[in-house]
Structure 1
């Protein structure tokens, strides 16, 4: 009975991660299509107040492409989470695939804050590149969420390694007996 509940919850999580992936992709594209949303994001999250910047077709396209890196990492992490939950829903808990998916989720989480910090800096340069010399801006932001997400990612990588090793040892033991 407990296994059936775990399988149902994991199958539900497959759907939830799929909805999250669609939401992230849709919100990301909408951000870059809706100039007012983009302007609000640039003014509150990228540049310091009262910094001049340009939203030209070139800067928006460059920003869209550069900003796709953290969005892609998020989608990759969620894709691996969905596959992990799907495997769990089918009873495939202690498998090599589960360990590898945990490691990939961890890699996505560990790389995400690094990408966010680098991309924020790159976006600040992109949006102020048309400013005269001395009025361009390089903005680097680091907060505790970056650190916590990075640590959580590293923890998932280690848990994935341990799980893959435990699966290998269990397989070896089954073959001996």
Structure 2
């Protein structure tokens, strides 16, 4: 492929990894600062501002742990992408490891998209658990983004399999010549 694509791969690999680490650090910071935790809690649970949330230290710890666990799936996806970019930087375009990384990326997106409604529901329970009786909630909701992310994950898994076949054919062709 082109020199530009190789150069892009050189900086996109560490950028993907840095972004993954930054996601985790920002998540921890947002939950650690009480003034910011309510915004994150509402954002991740989908609760409107009219719904009371009680954020104790334990609630913030549980919410932070849940969101960090969910983000870990996305971090895994970003590290898989970094592996693809490293292969591109090395000038490898049909290497079997690329299909492995693409497959892992797709599975991570599928898991992230599929578990987002569950995480959202658990988050509503966590952030309203300390509310007075009658104000505790379990809200279950699905977003079109959840489905789109999961479908993109499935597509990436399928493309990973297709790329694996293409890499095998390319290797066979190299053996013939």
TM-score when normalising by structure 1: 0.89
Deviations 1:38-82 (A, max 9, x none): 112323552244323321122111112111222101111110111
Residue 27 of structure 1 is matched in structure 2 by: 26
Q: Quote the Cα distance in structure 2 between the aligned partners of 1:121 and 1:108.
A: 20
Contact 1:103 1:161 in 2 (8 A): yes
1:114 and 1:154 mapped to 2: Cα distance? Answer: 11
- Structure 1 unmatched ranges of 5 or more: none
Equivalent position SS for 1:19? helix
Contact kept? 1:13, 1:82, Cα under 8 Å: yes
Structure 1 match to 2:42 = 43
- Return the alpha-carbon distance in structure 2 between the equivalents of residues 33 and 65 of structure 1: 11
Shift of 1:159: 0.4
Aligned pairs, number: 176
For residues 90-125 of structure 1, what are the alpha-carbon distances to aligned partners after superposition, in whole Å with 9 as ceiling and x for unaligned?
Answer: 012211110010011111111112222111110111
- Residues of 1 paired with 2:60 and 2:40: CA distance? 12
The match for 1:7 is 6
1:162 shift after superposition: 0.5
CA distance in 2, matches of 1:10, 1:109: 21
The list of structure 1 runs, each at least 4 consecutive aligned residues, that deviate by more than 6 angstroms after superposition, is: none
Matched, 1:90 2:90: yes
CA contact (8 A) 2:76 2:105 kept: yes
Structure 2 unaligned spans of 5+: none
Matched-pair contact (CA < 8 Å) for 1:69–1:115: no
| Distance of aligned partners of 1:44 and 1:70 in 2 relative to their CA distance in 1, 3 Å threshold | closer
Judging changes above 3 Å, is the alpha-carbon distance between structure 1 residues 44 and 25 closer, same or farther for their aligned structure 2 residues?
Answer: closer
Secondary structure of 1:24's partner? helix
Task: Name 2:156's counterpart in structure 1.
Answer: 156
The two structures have a TM-score, normalised by structure 2, of 0.89
Equivalences for residues 1-177 of structure 1 within 5 A: 3-46=2-45, 47-175=47-175
CA contact (8 A) 2:87 2:98 kept: yes
